[in-house]
Chains A and B, each alone.
Chain A
Amino acid sequence: MRHVTFKQAVFPQSLFVLLLLLLVQPLRADQPEFKVDEVANELSHPWSLAELPDGQLLVTERSGELKRISKGQVQTIEDVPEVYFAGQGGLLDIKLHPQFAQNGWIYLSYAHGTLSDNALSLMRAKLNNNALTEQQILFTAAPSKDTPVHYAGRIAFMPDNTLLLAIGDGFDYREHAQKKDSLLGKIIRLNDDGSIPSDNPYLSDTEARGELYSIGHRNPQGLVYDKQRNIVLSNEHGPAGGDEINIIQPGKNYGWPVITYGRDYSGASITPFTEYPGMEQPLVNWTPSIAPSSMVVYYGDMFPEFHGDLLNTTLKNRELRWVHMENNKPGKETSLLKHLKERLRHIEVAKDGSLYLLTDSGKVLRVHR
């Protein structure tokens, strides 16, 4: 019989445990301590959220209703415009005007029409008591299309009170993203009343639509103005692979579908090119896809470790993807909230620095210390 000393028996296991701890510790140090509370549930395809000055939440449901959430109570707002609810279409983004406290304007993007003739629209209205009033349709994308997908629809206000609106390529219309006389596959810039700003980048091009701000987009899902860096950031779905984060600059071409790192869902190539003269490379390329669905640049007080970084909700990866930024350059990435196992649709930073998340399962979550 072979005798094993105490040292021989214990040392290998101890070493193994020590190594394991050394490996795990840096991972744990990357994970901020979170508490996740459920604010509301059983919403129907919640898509976007805005926090009112009094802390109440307005949540769009893609199925066409606007909900107000206050202290856990969910109330339906009346007189919301009729939407085309199919595929990826329906009631989409909601944003408050930067001077909402003075003017009360709420901006909504939505799909409207029919299967054979539908488009993305932008409207604004005021919330009086429990209804949307003074409704104004500000913009409708053209041409209309016969696919119920790839609307994009995100809205972002700029410091000059103009707004950016992302418009998807409509899937079957992907080449339109390169056509300057089409609004599909573009980010456009409008004044807050829907008129075209006089300093838009393509105004001097007689063949281009005056609304255009940037071209060559597929299906942008995150669109934010970074107030400290004074840049616009966007994330967008690629096909199979080729999800991207881009710094959006006026007049630039982001390449879709001439350049992409993704392939078609069928397995075919979209294009032979990943680079082409005059077309921008992505700031971040996610291949394989993680399916980013929204984005914020965090400058809140509650999570100083996120300061200036990009937080991206994801559908396929069911996580919050934290992109650490070093000045304007993306650094390492950290996966957060994977344990929730939720398709995360939207993220918003609350006034107290906590995070609101919407899930495709119908929940509003609040993430805080």
Chain B
Amino acid sequence: MSHTLFVLHELAELGISITTSIRIQAILDDIAGLMPAYGAVIAIGLLIAFSVLKLISKKLAKQPDPSWMWWGLAGGFTLCSALLLMQPLLDITLIAGARSDFGFAMQCLSGVCGGIVYGILRPTISQAGEHE
């Protein structure tokens, strides 16, 4: 959503008229369009980041359940790393919504939010799993 809104904002700055319904449709379109590639990169990144967080927390901090803010940090770190690692491939910004510093920050913030949500819901998920 962050990506779509930044791209549409750039078009609106050119004087292009974009209605709310077009914006909603564009967000849905981008979710579907970005899912296979960018979604896969983020999913793999989060898997690595969350696994490393769990490992560090368990082995070094002797704390099997890190607090929600650590999960948020891991989520933000994942998005930041993914965007920075993609940049040198062609020296271009493959995710257009992250071309500006603000857009880049918003992508990272999305990762933070995703991580926090996962961190808060995770005990519930684990407990639910234990009853199965």
Contact = CB atoms under 8 A, between A and B. Distances in A.
Interface string B43-57: 000000000000000
Interface stretch (A14-22, A151-159, A260-268): A260-268
Give the 10 A-B residue pairs with the shortest CB-CB distance, closest first.
A267-B33, A171-B92, A178-B14, A272-B26, A268-B30, A272-B22, A175-B10, A267-B37, A268-B33, A147-B92
B90 A87 contact: yes
Given A86-B91, A268-B38, A276-B16, 11 more contacts: A149-B91, A266-B33, A266-B96, A267-B33, A267-B35, A268-B4, A268-B34, A268-B95, A269-B4, A269-B29, A269-B30
Interface string B74-108: 00000000000000001111111101000000000
Contacts, number: 72
B11 A258 contact: yes
B25 A272 contact: yes
B13 A263 contact: no
B121 interface: no
Interface in A231-285: 257-258, 263-273, 276
Nearest to B25: A272
Interface of B: 3-4, 7-8, 10-11, 13-14, 16, 18, 22, 25-26, 29-30, 33-38, 90-97, 99
Contacts of B25: 272
Nearest to A269: B29
Contacts of A270: 7, 96
A115 B10 CA distance: 24
A220 interface: no
A148 interface: yes
A266 B37 contact: yes
5 contacts: A87-B91, A175-B14, A267-B35, A268-B7, A270-B96
Interface of A: 86-87, 115, 147-149, 171-172, 174-175, 178-179, 257-258, 263-273, 276
A115 B91 contact: yes
A267 B38 contact: yes
SS class, residues of chain A in contact with chain B: loop
B26 A269 contact: yes
A175 B13 contact: yes
B33 A149 contact: no
Nearest to B14: A178
Given A266-B38, A272-B25, A258 B14 contact: yes
Contacts of B18: 272
Contacts of A263: 33
Nearest to A87: B91
B16 to A, nearest CB: 6
Contacts of A266: 33-34, 37-38, 94-96
B91 A265 contact: no
Contacts of B94: 264-266
A285 B96 CA distance: 23
Contacts of B34: 266-268
Contact of B96 (A178, A258, A264, A276): A264
B95 A257 contact: no
Contacts of B26: 269, 272
A258 B30 contact: no
Contact of A147 (B3, B33, B91): B91
Nearest to A174: B96
A69 to B, nearest CB: 31
B90 A149 contact: yes
Given A258-B16, A272-B25, A172 B90 contact: no
A171 to B, nearest CB: 5
Contacts of B11: 175, 257-258, 271
B14 A172 contact: no
Contacts of B36: 267
Nearest to B95: A266
Contact of B99 (A148, A172, A178, A271): A172
A148 B10 CA distance: 22
Nearest to A177: B14
A269 B33 contact: yes
